[in-house]
Amino acid sequence: MSEPTPSPASFSAGRRWSRAFNSVVGIASLLAIVVMVNYLASGWYRRWELSNSGRFDLSPQTTRLLQNVTNDVEAFICFDVEKEKEVHGWSQSLLRQYANLNPRIRVRSIDPSRAPGSVSQILATNLLGTLANKNFILFTCEGRRWVVFANQLSDYSRPIPITGENGQPAIEFRRTNFKGEVLFSSAIFAVSYARQQKAYFVTGHGEHNPEGVSADQDYGKFAAMLRDQYNVPWEKLNLSGTNDLTDASMLVIAGPARSAFTTNELAKLDGYLRSGGRALILAPNMSYAASVGSRSGNAINTGLENYLTNWNVGIVSTVVQDDTNRPAENSLLVVGDGLTPDHPVTQSIAATKGGVLLVLPRPVGRLVGSSTANGPNVERLGQTSSEGIETRDVMANGVLTRKFFKGKFPLIVAVEKGAITGVSADRGTTRLIIIGDSLCLNNQILDSADNRVFAGFAVNWLLDRPQAMLEIPPKTLKDFKITASSMQVRNLGLIMVLGFPGAVLLFGGLVWLRRRR
């Protein structure tokens, strides 16, 4: 009987080398395909927004803007991530979308609590030391800067009753929208397509000094904010001079407390405003008037009081206090219902229940019965609570008597007027913001409460900054509530802890048994 022919070894040296070679070729081919796909994806990027909120789905306006940006723009996200985790994540994801659309947009996220040195260096390089310990996003391009603060990125709901710790009733505020796209696109537009805008600080009547950085009463911080944060260079201006104001984008009249405006100065101011000019006017109060040496130590009649009646605004030479909202002596915090919730200047501050700190403010409001169809639109931005007290000296029977009047007193107003008949509105719509206190933006108080944020909103509104032109609506945030019983929660936990790992082990075991056979 012949011996059976032996079969060749299943794992001969030749077959082992052949299989090894096939494996190497397969792995190399896979890596080559991955590299080629990534290379193609880098040049033809496409992202799909799968969430129904569309939070990071860019609008056509932003897409067109980014396609035309040819300058290098850097965005520094300086957030304390632990405190602003939610909005930090949204901002970072959205800005990365910007960077993917245009590689000239570079995004860098820095947590001040983990890398304080890096944040300090950025602030020092951009002359923004006043922003230390704040959460913000800084956009820079060729020396131009624009800052977006964390509390500008969302609006909030009205107080919602909840059950707090130990079952105690509490309230919370929930974000209702995310305004990242309009603010980021506006910032990129502002720094990359810089339209020169210039502010003038009016001088010659005892106004606060915009060049002063050490004295509390000076306006050095506010002037630096204009130049460094909002890319608005400024100069001092005496209206009695020969300047024609053709390059003025905004006037700042900050507490003229020593002398009144002349007729010629008021005529020059009127010509500027009627041609679509913009102005931030802060009425002097008694405290500042006394410090600069006015004759009586009281708030004088500057001439602006009579002039502003042409714009349907009245300024009263009295003092208002509000014990309900008085954090310190002589101060008044315009907060809560005192701030108008639907005006661009105060909307965000009112939504977060913030406040604007004033000192011995004077009542400023729309003249009663002054509204006409084609007249200026005067809107209250801030007022006292119903517990406000106005102190007024009244002449009765030949005797000067001090009386107190209680109620809600307007303290801040915004004025807007379209083209005036017979006058060329070269700059567009006339806009004014008038505040009954000039100390609220000085070096000492600017960083109190939300005064700096309020000042930023006021400047942007007066200058009609790009967010008004882009018309990008905020992204609505939706809350989803899942209700489950304790049994359902326990079952879900068992599925997550035991079910998924168990399924993997079961599948692996079946594969092992099959290969054993």
| Predicted local distance difference test score (pLDDT) of residue 219 | 94
Euclidean distance between CA atoms 413 and 334, whole angstroms = 13
**425 Cβ contact list (under 8 Å, min separation 6):** 275, 276, 418, 419
Instruction: Assign domain 60-189 one CATH number from 3.40.50.300, 3.40.30.10, 2.30.30.90, 3.40.50.2300.
Output: 3.40.30.10
Euclidean distance between CA atoms 381 and 364, whole angstroms = 10
Euclidean distance between CA atoms 400 and 505, whole angstroms = 94
| Predicted local distance difference test score (pLDDT) of residue 98 | 92
Euclidean distance between CA atoms 145 and 279, whole angstroms = 23
Whether 406 contacts 389, CB under 8 Å? yes
| Predicted local distance difference test score (pLDDT) of residue 75 | 93
Question: Can you state the angle between helices 180-192 and 60-67, rounded to 10 degrees?
Answer: 30
| Tens digits of pLDDT across the chain (517 residues) | 556 666 555 556 777 777 778 878 888 888 888 888 877 766 665 555 555 444 567 877 788 788 888 889 999 999 888 888 888 888 998 999 999 889 999 999 998 888 888 888 888 887 777 777 888 999 999 888 888 888 888 876 666 666 656 666 666 667 778 888 888 988 888 888 766 788 999 999 889 999 998 888 899 999 988 887 777 889 999 998 777 788 899 999 998 888 889 999 999 999 999 988 999 999 987 766 666 655 444 556 788 989 999 999 998 888 888 888 888 877 888 887 889 988 988 887 887 788 899 988 889 988 876 556 677 899 999 999 888 888 877 767 777 677 788 889 999 999 998 755 444 445 678 999 999 999 999 999 998 888 988 998 899 889 887 554 455 666 776 655 666 777 877 887 788 777 778 888 888 888 888 777 6
Instruction: Give me the CATH topology for the region 198-462.
Output: Rossmann fold (3.40.50)
| Predicted local distance difference test score (pLDDT) of residue 266 | 93
| Predicted local distance difference test score (pLDDT) of residue 27 | 86
Domain boundaries, the chain: 60-189, 198-462
Burial class (CB within 10 angstroms; exposed 0-12, middle 13-18, buried 19+) of 164: exposed
Euclidean distance between CA atoms 226 and 452, whole angstroms = 11
